[in-house]
Amino acid sequence: MLLTLPITALIYEALLPTEDIFHHLWVTVLPTYISNTFWLVLLVMSFSLLCGVPAAWLMAMCELPGKRWLQWALILPLAMPSYIVAFVYTDLLDFSGPVQDSLRQWFGWQSAADYYFPAIRTLGGAALILGLVLYPYVYLLARTAFMEQSTSLIQSSRLLGCTPWQSFKKVSLPLARPSIAVGLSLVAMETLAEFGTVNFFAVNTLTTAVYDTWLGYGSLNAAAKISAIMLLVVMLLLSMERMSRKRQQVFQKNMGHEQQTGYQLTGVAKWGALLFCWTLVALGFLLPFVILCYHAVHYFDQAWNSRFFEYSFNSLLLSALVAGVALMIGLLLGMTHRLSGKSYSVVPMRLASMGYALPGTVLAIGVLVPLTSLDFAINDAALWLGVTEPGLLFTGTMTAIAFGYLVRFGAMAIGSVESSLAKVSPSLDMVTQTMGYSPGAMMMKVHMPLIRKGMLAGALLVFIECMKELPAALLLRPFNFQTLATYVYQFVSDEQLELGALPAIVIVLVGLIPLIFLNRSLEQQH
């Protein structure tokens, strides 16, 4: 299928004879890049585990003041692009920032030699920033797992003399382990795909290696080989996640009629829990968002210009186009699978959804390989025919970036349509077929009205992810073409986020939409 072409092309290019550039990188810097990537993923996973699981247990099992608002607020950091958070904390914590400047004034220090302050632009700093943004993946899945557990098991453990901590360690945590493993695998894949923060902090990882190899050395072959290494890592992470679920099956669920009785925290425990949870919200979302609003107000006249409207239009047009095409592909594949009734008809849907697991830089190289070859072939054919060469029809236009977005995010629309169609009774198909409806008429008059909410949700998710995507946009965008994400990152790279605060707020507000839908769906289920 067309959507699997980038992966096939990437593997093919990676298997071609090695160029001198890749050999040079392999014997000089690639071992360091691989080591940095490993430690970054490990540190971010550890931080997300230490923050996400306790917060999930507190929200699912305990009664706290303002819990209804707090359990929603803990999801908010997902809407904040990590490179924006990185710049905010760099600006605050650098030597010239307000934090260190205030310390020098209070204690009379004159230079950095007079005191020690941890550097933010390090691998550990990057891990901390990414952990603040990505821990909600673990929090969401762990919270859902805790809420689905039967309260009879918790009450039985308490009757047997277990303290709340023992009950958590021996009952709740083992039952939630598969969900936590899924959340950690998502954190690991997002960390592996991260570009903005690590590039801003000058932490060299495999993601930055792909970017630098293509744009710096101009070697598509070397970039493809590094991308293939990342592809193997992603496949390994997916395999480990599936094995963790396969090896442990949990059948004890909350039956719905059980009353969820939470622990009543008091005193130090209550205020400590509130401080812990609200600190996560403040550091991961509130503080960066308030600073963005401050800059947006003070630099509004400079940010509210023609470029802001042009790049906003580019992002809206591109995102809407990709969302529409992804939805049509999802409907086509979903209806084909439903009407055929064959088990093998699900294969095209699974193949079309493979791109979502790929990091943006890896996907970009996979898109560039076939489209560059196609551009060269068309120009060679035009030269052979004696006509004017058309130039870069694919890699020099919006085609490449739109195709890359479609491959990466089409899985969201396909999955949403598939799950919605699965809820429609097969008897409706039989009735409409006996009435003489064609497959197209059946889809238009029966299925689409019934699955319109799922269609809208899938298209909306694709639209929002396209608005936020950065690494694929940096590699695939044509000349003189900017999206809001690349526009903001340009200011971040130049350490002028105050001028990009307004478009950054637009990206954040758009990113809040799926989180609102997600939280409402969780509240309706429980």
Does 119 map to a domain? no
CATH number at residue 426: 1.10.3720.10
If you average pLDDT over residues 365-376, what whole number do you get?
84
> For the segment 479-514, what is each residue's pLDDT rounded down to a tens digit?
888 888 888 888 888 878 788 888 888 888 887 776
Which H or E element spans position 454? helix 452-468
pLDDT reading at 45 higher than 80: yes
Question: Which range of residues forms the domain containing residue 392?
Answer: 299-526
Cα 428–chain centre separation: 37
The four Cα atoms 218, 220, 222, 224 give a dihedral, to 10 degrees, of 150
> For the segment 305-317, what is each residue's pLDDT rounded down to a tens digit?
888 889 889 888 9
Tell me the β-bridge partners of 62. 263
With the C-alpha atoms ordered 478, 211, 198, 358, is the resulting torsion angle positive or negative? positive
- Integer CA distances (angstroms), 153 to 148, 149, 324, in order: 11, 8, 46
The pLDDT, as a whole number, for residue 374 is 86
Angle CA 295–98–271, to nearest 5: 90
Question: Tokens 């409806």 map to which residue?
Answer: 437
pLDDT reading at 257 higher than 50: no
Short-list 358, 349, 315, CA closest to 329: 349
Does 514 map to a domain? yes
Does 232 map to a domain? no
Each as own residue / partner, the long-range contacts of residues 302-309 (CB below 8 Å, 24 or more positions apart, any chain) are 302/499, 303/499, 303/500, 303/501, 303/502, 303/503, 304/502, 307/482, 307/487, 308/487, 308/502, 308/503
Q: Give the three-class secondary structure for 3.
A: helix
Which H or E element spans position 263? strand 263-264
d(CA 504, CA 489): 9
User: Can you read off the two tokens belonging to residue 102?
Assistant: 């205030």
pLDDT band for position 159 (cuts 50, 70, 90):
low
Short-list 359, 378, 334, 407, CA closest to 2: 407
Tell me the β-bridge partners of 264. 63
d(CA 153, CA 450): 38
Does 365 map to a domain? yes
Does 27 map to a domain? no
Does 306 map to a domain? yes
d(CA 364, CA 368): 6
pLDDT band for position 255 (cuts 50, 70, 90):
very low
Q: What is the mean pLDDT of the chain?
A: 80
> For the segment 81-135, what is each residue's pLDDT rounded down to a tens digit?
888 888 888 888 888 888 888 888 888 887 777 788 888 888 999 999 999 999 9
pLDDT band for position 279 (cuts 50, 70, 90):
very high
Instruction: Enter the pTM of the model.
Output: 0.81
Residue 53: other Cβ atoms inside 10 A: 25
pLDDT over 90 percentage in the chain: 9
pLDDT band for position 40 (cuts 50, 70, 90):
very high
Short-list 523, 522, 520, 524, CA closest to 512: 520
Does 82 map to a domain? no
Angle between helices 306-340 and 398-422 (to 10 degrees): 40
Q: Answer whether 199's CB lies under 8 Å from 126's CB.
A: no
Domains in the chain, number:
1
Does 448 map to a domain? yes
Q: Which of 53-57, 150-154, 170-174, 177-181 has the lowest mean pLDDT?
A: 150-154
d(CA 394, CA 374): 8
d(CA 109, CA 102): 10
> For the segment 384-400, what is each residue's pLDDT rounded down to a tens digit?
888 877 777 778 788 88
Angle between helices 220-247 and 206-217 (to 10 degrees): 160
pLDDT band for position 261 (cuts 50, 70, 90):
low
Tell me the β-bridge partners of 263. 62
| Distinct helix (H) and strand (E) counts, the chain | 27, 2
Tell me the β-bridge partners of 63. 264
